[in-house]
Chains A and B, each alone.
Chain A
């Protein structure tokens, strides 16, 4: 308690101290927000990439099956 009374504000210029700490934390917060936004974009790209990769695999599988179908179709003709 004695420590606290010797370290608490005396009322003069307190706003400047608060402003300095607030500016610092806001800067860090803005940086973290930008990082979060970039992370969201990366996540979206990964999701997109996975989706396109799955589509590509499906297309390749379909291509493998295509000659068999066309031959059957040809037989019928």
Chain B
């Protein structure tokens, strides 16, 4: 499969973001209850979905690594989780801002969606220290893959547990966009696509940078400059 070039991906992402922001601010109507601040929804929810999917993707790529023992899958798994962590941080910050604007508190501990996301985030925050605490590259990749698979399996389980919980205070989105008016659902889907594109672009940049550094290191070693 031929992947799109970095330049094409970057341009598509920028265009998608321009369209998404235009739709958010000039097309999607203001929500009756929350008002203008509800538009954080078009940023916060796509960020959360992409971040959680990225964690699961990291687990799937780790399975590929354990099956093939090819280091390229480990690198991809690492980058997917690394990027999801950055997106996760953005989810927590934008979520806090939204909570403050809507509920008057920066954080609500009895809200399962918030707390469960924090647990997932903290779980993955241990991934990098665990990974880089192991010096042997092969062992590092193997242990990191096992972690990525276990934690990746925890993400959907966690999500289902939250869905089954009694509280319905937090807005539900992944049950479908049918509860949203057409213009809001369309804007949300475009925002989600733009966010997914941004994730893919940043992952591609990170992968390209990592590959270049690996190449440079091996070239230095071959030439005896290490």
Q: How far is the CB of A4 from chain B (nearest CB, A)?
A: 6
Q: How far is the CB of B167 from chain A (nearest CB, A)?
A: 23
Given contacts A23-B97, A24-B47, A28-B198, contact A14 B36 (CB under 8 A): yes
Supply 20 A–B pairs (Cβ within 8 Å), ascending by A. Answer: A7-B26, A7-B28, A9-B36, A10-B30, A12-B37, A14-B37, A16-B40, A16-B100, A17-B101, A19-B97, A20-B44, A20-B94, A20-B98, A23-B93, A23-B94, A24-B47, A27-B93, A35-B205, A42-B209, A49-B223
- Nearest 9 Cβ contacts at the A-B interface: A16-B101, A13-B37, A9-B36, A20-B94, A20-B97, A20-B40, A13-B101, A23-B93, A17-B37
Question: Please, how many residues of chain A have a CB less than 8 angstroms from a CB on the other chain?
Answer: 30
Expressed in whole angstroms, the Cα–Cα distance for A77 and B94 within the complex equals 84
Q: Which of B26, B94, B209 has the most CB of A within 10 A?
A: B94
Decide yes or no whether A58 CB sits under 8 A from chain B: no
Decide yes or no whether B132 CB sits under 8 A from chain A: no
A27 and B86 contacting across the interface, CB-CB below 8 Å: yes
Expressed in whole angstroms, the Cα–Cα distance for A49 and B198 within the complex equals 33
Decide yes or no whether A46 CB sits under 8 A from chain B: yes
- The DSSP consensus for interface residues of chain A is helix
User: B-side interface residues toward A, CB under 8 Å?
Assistant: 25-30, 35-37, 39-40, 43-44, 47, 86, 89-90, 93-94, 97-98, 100-101, 198, 202, 205-206, 209, 212-213, 216, 219-220, 223, 225
Expressed in whole angstroms, the Cα–Cα distance for A14 and B25 within the complex equals 12
Q: How far is the CB of B170 from chain A (nearest CB, A)?
A: 16
Q: Please count the residue pairs between chain A and chain B whose beta carbons lie under 8 angstroms apart in the complex.
A: 85
Expressed in whole angstroms, the Cα–Cα distance for A9 and B198 within the complex equals 27
Decide yes or no whether A53 CB sits under 8 A from chain B: yes
Expressed in whole angstroms, the Cα–Cα distance for A28 and B100 within the complex equals 23
**Which chain A residues numbered 42 to 70 have a C-beta less than 8 Å away from chain B?**
42, 45-46, 49, 52-53, 56
B36 and A49 contacting across the interface, CB-CB below 8 Å: no
Q: Among A3, A10, A31, which residue has its beta carbon within 8 angstroms of that of B35?
A: A10
Expressed in whole angstroms, the Cα–Cα distance for A28 and B25 within the complex equals 20
B216 and A45 contacting across the interface, CB-CB below 8 Å: yes
Q: How far is the CB of B9 from chain A (nearest CB, A)?
A: 14
Q: How far is the CB of A26 from chain B (nearest CB, A)?
A: 10
Expressed in whole angstroms, the Cα–Cα distance for A37 and B100 within the complex equals 35
B43 and A24 contacting across the interface, CB-CB below 8 Å: yes
B225 and A49 contacting across the interface, CB-CB below 8 Å: yes
Q: How far is the CB of B7 from chain A (nearest CB, A)?
A: 15
Expressed in whole angstroms, the Cα–Cα distance for A28 and B90 within the complex equals 9
Residues of chain A lying within 8 A (CB to CB) of residue B29: 6-7
